[in-house]
Chain A
């Protein structure tokens, strides 16, 4: 039998804190040459700790407590950092999670790719320069000579990830550790990056340890799957087998909670005839002045209506204008032209006191619950605060309403005295929802409200939102990049691309019969679909083709 490239035996990793925290508890796994093994788990499962331990870059207070890490049959667990330097980059390399934070902001792209060549003495001088250009070309960057002289902030997220891949493959290592390589990227960019990794892997026969929280990505790209929870392996086996017949209860739940396009669409609530929509947006246009005197059109002619008690979703990638659109609907941004009617009020003409009263009707829930909750306030004062801003409500009445809303969002009264940092991500998002609901708004704008959550928590929050909508007759404007989630929760949908609304209609219509090429690409790019339709490998070109509106 061949020697595995990576052989982890009973690995234990812990972090020093006031209470020592064990992140990885006796994990054993093997990666064979040319194989892609996916390490799947939710946050806190220990998957990133394993990846970091292998390459010897555990964060400050982390350390390997026991077990062994064998690279090509050699135990490197007790190696000094200095000895590991010879192996890192040459035998095992890393594709990190966050492309923006993973490149040194004050060094040129070329210098950062070049570094891995010179550190290992593989090339110097002109030869190194040539190799840098070769590598940048290899990963599909256009104008590699220009890119080499640019700084990271001049490149898009997808381009930066290509640079990091160029660094990772520079010395043709036997093993690449890909730590959530695409979770910070838009879905169409994600697909192109994953295709690129696949392609380079074919070419060099490199093994990949693929760390991800996304079952869809793991299903598409791996041959073997390892499911982690709480630092222990729950299940391990061929990817196809696990997807078809998961053995452990945890994997079953994970698979059930993952939003999927194949799931039946929800029953669409038809609006009663003659009912006026709660929200009517007509031909919304928003321009931003550029410093050089030019004008950037962020939103270009968006129109949609939302019937009371239904959910409209806006789907788009970063830069598509979806955030500008919802800021205009919420009354934070004055549109350049177009009409926004909410419950009969024109959001454009409001100011002063009427604008303040208007805010009662429209509430927001943001993506990152920790950043949108004041860390110094208790849960009680966070939820109570909106009540203090409007007509006075007696103290015990306020307490009663806060308690009631907390009940509604499924939290216990014991939560009231705690502060946001002492709560889990799901609990925090429930509090953000409670804060939005305490004013009894008509419209709730959910800005990527479930995107940062683990799938099981995401499923819980989505069902909470559906329940609240049914009970309270709420209307949602739901912004997301995740089409599977949209399919699950929305009645109608607008797809935005570069400021324009390229598709609009009921969820079924847009998903089954998309009219624009962009929407088709977006649906095609959703991970988890490749298993059904394995076709020709797509061309990993970095630039998106222009999509007709």
Chain B
């Protein structure tokens, strides 16, 4: 068991390193850099010598490999460097923006899971009726709605028409309701689809017939026997979808004017603020890898068949 855990952690570290290297190479391949974009502006009236000096300060003039080694070294000590645009350490920017995005993403994810489970169990209970066809077509609808459009529509309907959720000076929780919904809807769709399919598939297994033949009620069979087996494969997908959630947060935060990693990323991209982008990539990759690591390590506890056999 320990060997398995160590191997999985080793893999996770490897993935993080690969993400760092790949993003470094890609970001360096872009023409120009943040220093040039900011200080070549004629308003500053800087001479080429002065610019070269600033470039040396930000350590963007060394060889590619030297820069790579320097930023990898800094990263290992927890130093993400300076944001050229804002002139503050990137870690300070992350400290401000990360909690907001994590709250949004976790709430969005939780809502998506509830939504998906609701759809799947409704579909399972309505087996054999027309309602079922309707329920089963909802995920396809959810997945085809663009996030930005959904956000705008939700604001239109709930804030302006129904005046249920204020947009001007909302409370800390009120301001989250619509963004969380916007984020949850597209994520819930694939979860619901897979859960519905698994429930239907498990329903035909003979151990379900045996449970019914024991005299167990419909609800008991569904929750104790069918659901426990059906959620297992969903777990993997859920881990992967969390990555999509971070991407979705960029659009959602922009639409709702929230500050967070999403809006930070958007600003950094338009100003080619490489240190910030690099940090965002690393932090997202770390969260993604951590979640999938947890999923992998949780499997043997949820499915006894995956537990390494002791001594056998």
Contacts and interface: CB of A to CB of B under 8 A. Distances in A.
The answer on A and B forming one complex is yes
Nearest to A59: B204
A164 B210 contact: yes
Contact of B214 (A52, A59, A88): A88
Nearest to B303: A106
Contact of B304 (A89, A101, A105): A105
Interface string B284-307: 000000000000000000111100
Interface string A49-64: 0001001110110000
B209 A57 contact: yes
Interface string B158-176: 0000000000000000000
B243 to A, nearest CB: 27
A102 B215 contact: no
A87 B215 contact: yes
Q: How large is the interface on B (under 10, 10 to 19, 20 to 34, 35 or more residues)?
A: 20 to 34
Interface in A86-110: 86-90, 93-94, 96-98, 101-107
B127 interface: yes
A531 interface: no
B213 A93 contact: yes
A33 B213 CA distance: 20
Interface string A251-293: 0000000000000000000000000000000000000000000
B259 interface: no
Interface residues of A, number: 35
Contacts of B209: 52, 57, 94, 96, 102
Contacts of A56: 212
A102 B214 CA distance: 12
Of B211, B212, B217, B304, which is in contact with the most chain A CB atoms at under 10 Å from its CB? B211
Given A104-B229, A105-B229, A115 B216 contact: yes
Contact of A115 (B211, B228, B302): B211
B228 A106 contact: yes
A82 B217 contact: yes
Contact of A101 (B205, B212, B213, B215): B205
Contacts of A104: 207, 211, 225, 228-229
A104 B228 CA distance: 9
Nearest to A93: B213
Contacts of A549: none
Contacts of A57: 209, 212-213
A103 B210 contact: yes
A376 interface: no
A135 to B, nearest CB: 13
A119 B213 contact: no
A402 interface: no
B220 interface: yes
B206 A98 contact: yes
Of B210, B225, B229, B303, which is in contact with the most chain A CB atoms at under 10 Å from its CB? B210
A246 B224 CA distance: 48
A116 B214 contact: yes
A96 B210 CA distance: 7
B108 to A, nearest CB: 29
A153 B228 CA distance: 16
Contacts of A94: 209-210, 213
Of A104, A115, A151, A164, which is in contact with the most chain B CB atoms at under 10 Å from its CB? A104
Contact of A88 (B205, B215, B220, B302): B215
A120 interface: yes
Given A57-B212, A105-B305, A106-B303, A85 B206 contact: no
Nearest to A164: B210
Given A97-B206, A106-B229, A115 B214 contact: yes
Nearest to A85: B215
Contacts of B205: 101
B130 interface: no
B216 A85 contact: yes
A532 interface: no
Contacts of A233: none
A120 B215 CA distance: 7
B305 A102 contact: no
Given A57-B212, A153-B305, 9 more contacts: A55-B212, A56-B212, A59-B204, A60-B127, A86-B215, A88-B214, A105-B305, A116-B215, A119-B217
- Shortest 4 CB-CB distances between A and B: which pairs? A89-B215, A94-B213, A88-B215, A151-B304
28 contacts: A55-B213, A57-B212, A60-B127, A60-B128, A81-B218, A88-B215, A89-B215, A93-B213, A94-B209, A94-B210, A94-B213, A96-B209, A98-B206, A104-B207, A104-B229, A105-B207, A105-B229, A105-B303, A107-B225, A107-B228, A115-B211, A115-B214, A115-B216, A119-B214, A119-B217, A119-B220, A167-B210, A167-B214
